[in-house]
Amino acid sequence: MDNEASAHAEPPPIRRQRAVEVFRNRFGVLFDDEVLSPSGGQGRYLRWQWSHGGVVIVPMGEDGFAFVPTYRYPIGEVSLEFPRGGCEADEEPAAAAARELREETGFDCAPSGLRPLGVIHAETGLIESEVRVFAAEVRRAGPADVLSTAAPEAMESVAEPVWVSRTEVAKWLQSGRVTCGVTLAALSLALAEVSGSGSVPLMGECRPDQST
């Protein structure tokens, strides 16, 4: 066969018998569904559904990739990540991506300046909702520019972006400096684009937001 994977049989589905809501907040709903396994056994399966879809943005430029040091409460440490978040009600994914980029890094980029890279699922064993991945061409700025224009949410703790070259990013991965699954997946799509095109086309440079 042309595709080796097509020769493999697909596993049977786990079927939902009843959706059981156990928790809800403004971010989404947690279900503890009653399910039926392929063998016919009854069980439960946790499923998180975001209120709206998610986005992650890969900031790219002549200096390589920009990662945001973000303190993550669940793991109790700082994680190097790409800007990400959820769409607001009635907000298009590209607009949400531009907003999250501005809030977490200070880079001001119009939605039309973003390139869609694909769709990922952050955790296929738990999270139902999809995450759309975008690339943004940005210009490196000084710490004062970034810190004065970034506006993270109240429960976010971020520092100025850290740049790594395209040649050094592989060493970062090998040394375990980046462990965020969403960031790793987004980076793989960005690297695939670079590999497939030979270079990253510029779509208009995004600069630090100068608004007051």
Contacts of 108 (CB under 8 A, 6+ apart): 102, 149, 206, 207, 208, 209, 210, 211
pLDDT digits (tens, 9 = 90+) for 177-210: 999 999 999 999 999 998 876 554 444 455 554 4
What SS3 class is residue 16?
strand
Which pLDDT belongs to residue 152?
Answer: 80
pLDDT digits (tens, 9 = 90+) for 120-163: 999 999 999 999 999 999 987 655 444 456 778 778 899 999 99
Instruction: Assess contact for 148 and 136: CB atoms under 8 A.
Output: no
Rounded CA-CA distance 128/195 in Å is 30
Strands 131-137 and 54-61: parallel
pLDDT digits (tens, 9 = 90+) for 11-70: 999 999 999 999 999 999 999 999 999 999 999 999 999 999 999 999 999 889 999 999
Residue 108: in which H helix or E strand, if any?
strand 107-108
Looking only at Cα atoms, what is the longest distance across the chain? 61
Which pLDDT belongs to residue 211?
Answer: 43
Rounded CA-CA distance 132/83 in Å is 12
Which pLDDT belongs to residue 203?
Answer: 40
pTM, two decimals, is: 0.85
CA atoms within 13 A on the CB side of 34: 4
Which pLDDT belongs to residue 206?
Answer: 58
